């Protein structure tokens, strides 16, 4: 509105100047004054335009602020709705928990029967003096009941699970005693792989070599006996592994290797029964 009024005033002044100039009625001073007033009006117009531009910027900023405020209000409203929903849920849970009675452990049968018997005996202790009279008649019966209970208790505790390690070793041993060397060998191999830190691990590995030896697979037996020597150098199966390894070489016709193993056995374990067997084999090799 202000811009339109300013433009209109400027237009009217220009018209008056033109009219005065055309009519020749206006003097030079009047034209100068008119020009000055027109320039002042233009300056006022420019200042007003600047102010209007600033106001427009402020109004735009205020509009942005209002839009942000409205957006924040919408978010706050959504959050309030969620909070109210959570409050309702909590109230429902609280009401359900309040209505549900707290779980109380039901007393066991024997525990219920024991206290009344003790209370009855305490309450009736002064009056029922004859109560101890039936005790001698019932005295012989109670010992039988506890004895049965004592006999049943170990019966329940006895069937414990067998040790899987021991059961596996016994199964493999039974197969070997039945001369089922291939399945026994597999069982011993499984045992050695499953229980490498067992006290019977070296025995199981040695038994694998024995199975190979019994199957006349001497080369495999030699390699397994060597594993016994490498893995368990301080085990009790070392003398037997040396002896069986020498015998396997002897079966293969390698008397030199057999002699070396026999001599090593005699040197390291001279008091062992395996050393005596090695001496016999050495005499035959000579």
Q: Does 31 fall in a domain?
A: yes
| pLDDT at 205 exceeding the cut of 50 | yes
Residue 94 lies in a domain: no
Let me know if residue 65 belongs to a domain: no
**2 near 53, Cβ under 8 Å?**
no
For residue 171, is it within any domain? yes
Last residue of a domain, one of 38, 56, 74: 56
Res 21: pLDDT: 52
Residue where a domain terminates, one of 40, 56, 72: 56
- How does pLDDT run across 95-134, given as a tens digit for each residue? 655 565 554 544 444 443 434 444 344 443 443 444 444 4
Given a contact cutoff of 8 angstroms between Cβ atoms, the answer to whether 243 and 274 are in contact is yes
pLDDT tens per residue across span 237-279: 999 999 999 999 999 999 999 999 999 999 999 999 999 999 9
Look at residues 183, 228, 182 and name the one whose alpha carbon lies nearest to residue 202.
Answer: 228
Strand intervals (E) in 27-118: none
Q: What is the CATH number of the domain that holds 253?
A: 1.25.40.10
Query: Is 280 part of any domain?
Result: yes
Is 157 a member of any domain? no
**Block residue for tokens 């301080």:** 234
* b/e 83-104 (16+ beta carbons within 10 angstroms → b): eeeeeeeeeeeeeeeeeeeeee
Query: In three state form, how does the secondary structure of 92-137 look?
Result: HHHHHHHHCCCCCCCCCHHHHHHHHHHHHHHHCCCCCCCCCCHHHH
**Range of the structural domain that residue 10 is part of:** 1-56
Does residue 268 fall inside a structural domain? yes
Higher pLDDT, 92 or 256: 256
Total domains in the fold of the chain? 2
Choosing from 24, 40, 56, the residue where a domain stops is: 56
- Average pLDDT, integer, range 189-210: 94
Residue 148 maps to a domain: no
């Amino acid at each position: 509105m202000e811009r339109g009024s300013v433009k209109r005033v400027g237009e009217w002044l220009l018209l008056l100047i033109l009219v005065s100039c055309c009519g020749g009625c206006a003097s030079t001073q009047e034209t100068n004054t008119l020009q000055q007033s027109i320039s002042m009006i233009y300056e006022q117009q420019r200042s007003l335009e600047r102010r209007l531009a600033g106001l427009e910027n402020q109004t735009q900023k205020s509009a942005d602020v209002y839009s942000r405020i409205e957006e924040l209000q919408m978010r706050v409203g959504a959050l309030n709705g969620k909070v109210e929903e959570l409050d309702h849920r909590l109230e429902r849970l609280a009401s359900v928990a309040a209505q549900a009675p707290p779980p109380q452990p039901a007393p066991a049968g024997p525990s219920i029967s024991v206290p009344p018997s003790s209370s009855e005996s305490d309450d009736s202790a002064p009056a029922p003096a004859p109560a101890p009279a039936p005790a001698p008649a019932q005295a012989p019966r109670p010992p039988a009941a506890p004895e049965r209970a004592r006999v049943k208790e170990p019966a329940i505790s006895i069937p414990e699970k067998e040790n899987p390690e021991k059961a596996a070793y016994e199964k493999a041993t039974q197969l070997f005693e039945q001369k089922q060397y291939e399945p026994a060998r597999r069982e011993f191999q499984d045992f050695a792989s499953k229980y490498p830190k067992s006290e019977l691990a070296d025995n199981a590995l040695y038994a694998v070599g024995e199975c190979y030896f019994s199957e006349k697979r001497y080369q495999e037996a030699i390699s397994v006996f060597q594993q016994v020597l490498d893995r368990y150098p301080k085990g009790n199966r070392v003398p037997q592994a040396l002896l069986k390894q020498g015998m396997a070489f002897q079966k293969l016709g390698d008397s030199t290797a057999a002699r070396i193993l026999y001599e090593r056995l005699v040197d390291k374990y001279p008091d062992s029964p395996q050393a005596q067997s090695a001496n016999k084999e050495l005499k035959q090799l000579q």
